[in-house]
A and B are shown apart, each in its own frame.
Chain A
Amino acid sequence: MSYVAIKGGGTAISGAEAVLEFLRCREGDEGESVSVNAIEHQLRFLQSRVISEGGVYHPKLASLAIKQSLGDTLEAAFALRAYRSTKPRLLESPTHSGGELRLIRRISASFKDIIGGQMLGPSTDYSLRMMRMELLNESPEQFKQVAKDWLQSMPESDLPDTFPKVLDALRAEGLLPDVTSERDGVPFDITREPLVFPVPRSAALSTMARAETGSMLGIAYSNMRGYGDIHPTVAELRVGYLPVMLPHPITGELTEVGEILMTECEIVAMFEASEEGHKPTFKLGYGACFGHNEVKAISMAILDRSLQVGMEHGPSNPSEDPEFVLLHIDGVDSMGFCSHYKMPHYVTFQSDMDRLRSTRKGPTKMSTSNVGASK
């Protein structure tokens, strides 16, 4: 009976899993299992990407997700999200301005001199992308020596932990719109409420914060190239550790429970003539996400700006359309639906063939013997 196409599912699934597990370990005696610590530190940007798209700050599990998904970012973020579904939401932290970020990097493209100074920090922005052949055979001794040398050569630093935000200066001059009272409202929690359009800006921001980096970059890039006219300037891009404050379970007093690595970006867009009686100001776009993901944070800031334009004046290109942007940038949703086309579609295809055969017959009426119920 040739019904094998959809039979024997159980054995097939476990077989498929076993062969993938074999591929992961196929080095055999020669190989060495990669540790989750190594992933967290040596694959920093991969880990950052997964922790941000997974939407739950758990560095160890993010590394595990990368390991078990053999490095597939979409799969890894997906595993992290599914883990998140088993966890209740217990508390809310208060909103923060980002000023408390303990910085490892901050740059501004709008001013050469910013209060506190530019701090390049860890970055490949100005590195030449040449193959570093010496890493092909890096010995454990060489590897260990790097951190030792670097720490020894570092002078005692008198840099403060936090810096004022670049935008504060522009705001003091009145060149930026006032901070609205929107932050006093209850932020929209996309993990507890579906997006029903129109959605508030906080819903858009949190959707983008855990969106898939490439999808967001693609739509933001369309705006940069001309399907839109944001023309952003990076007022400030910061990477650092944000203290997480939660109310103490007994006293209720805000207490620091830990810190999370974040990337934050504020862009300034060309000014818009405002309502009568008000002077024109620059317009802002904001991006922030877990981990060290600069391209994602900048893309998000650009899209925040373009979406605000769309929400205010109606969208005139894809990047300004909240439905278009927000419903198509989630990695878990889009990759899941893309993958589902690999599943059997025998019944619907049977139905398609029926319609095609029937319409190819031309306008002759069908026999009534197969006419279904009609009302």
Chain B
Amino acid sequence: MNTSEATQFGFLDEFAKKEIRRTVLKAIAIPGYQVPYSSREMPMGRGFGTGGLQLTLSIIGRGQTLKVIDQGSDDSVNAVNLRGFIESVCPSVNTTTNTADADLIQSRHRIPELALTENQVLVLQVPYPDPLVIVEPSEEKRKIMHGEADYSRLLVKLYEDIVHFDEVTISHRYPTCINGHYVIDPSPIPRYDVPKLDQSKALVLLGAGREKKIYAVPPFTDATPLVFDDQPFHIENFIDQDGQRRACQQCGSTESFLDEYMDAETQTLVFQCSDTDYCTRYLSSRNNGALHSNTELDNSAEAVELAND
């Protein structure tokens, strides 16, 4: 065996990529259905985005532009690591931090603030593909429940939450019904991002490498968080004691998902955009006084409006 050969474009052997592309087609054809696939081992840990990575490597083509984010940031350790690996095994693929420039965006835990378009694909990394796992440990049984669209035990769990706490306590990975049948785990995106899936212009592919499943929210498809008629869906609350929407301390936006942390110097709680690309662009366009002429930001404002709808 030759031990010094270079790896081929996209790292995976061609059979593996072909299998993943076929799996993707099936996933799009049956919105929200978790399609099993064999899932190769990648040179990074299971749980670090190997499902998303296999999707990206299988569908990205030469000359296309890729953005990789983790927790909304292009510069977090894992995003840097994934991007570096993809660059090394996919020569001729360009990378960007600009959401609008990307053909394909691989993300962990966030959907970008800027609304995506028909020409973009969003790949989400998934640790737990099955929303029923919180009520049923056996996959064999869960498969039957999905087939029958039997989500009664999940609804009971939501109901019990309301009885105990007066509201649903699921913070992220909020169960979301796709196209009126399959309920998916939308990956650990915050509830804030769930409405962005509904009638999304971009194709959303979700890949769980360790659990060996791929599923999709196709473009212009209904995505409805599981709720009761009299118990509306709540996104994360960024309202301060005075009833004001908190602003990003860096760019001043009051329309983005915020990370909070303790400022080491002032010992106060500060809030900052989790989407670093959005934050940078919002800040520079505000400094240029060109906030409203910037089409990208018009788009993102629209996205936020949708989220706050």
Contacts and interface: CB of A to CB of B under 8 A. Distances in A.
Contacts of A366: 167, 234, 237
A78 B41 contact: yes
Given A89-B15, A337-B127, A346-B274, A370 B239 contact: yes
Given A79-B43, A347-B72, A9 B81 contact: yes
Contacts of A332: 41, 46
Contact of B77 (A6, A79, A336, A351): A6
B30 interface: no
A192 B23 CA distance: 13
Interface string B9-32: 001111110010000000000000
Interface string A305-347: 0000000000000000001000100001111111111011111
Nearest to A4: B264
Contacts, number: 226
A141 to B, nearest CB: 33
Contact of A350 (B11, B190, B263): B190
Contacts of B227: 374-375
A367 interface: yes
Contact of B233 (A8, A335, A346, A372): A372
20 contacts: A5-B261, A13-B84, A85-B11, A85-B12, A85-B40, A87-B13, A88-B14, A196-B143, A333-B46, A337-B45, A337-B210, A339-B48, A343-B48, A343-B78, A347-B274, A350-B190, A350-B258, A354-B236, A355-B169, A370-B239
B272 A3 contact: yes
Contacts of A79: 43
Interface residues of A, number: 72
B287 interface: no
Contacts of B239: 367, 369-370
Interface in A82-112: 82, 84-89
B140 A197 contact: yes
B276 to A, nearest CB: 8
Contacts of B259: 346-347, 350
A131 interface: no
Nearest to B80: A9
Interface in B145-166: 165-166
Nearest to B14: A88
Contacts of B15: 88-89, 192
Nearest to A352: B171
B64 interface: no
A159 B171 CA distance: 68
Contact of B188 (A337, A348, A362, A367): A348
A81 B38 CA distance: 14
B210 A363 contact: no
Of listed B14, B233, B245, B306, residue having the most chain A CB within 10 A: B233
B232 interface: yes
Nearest to B279: A3
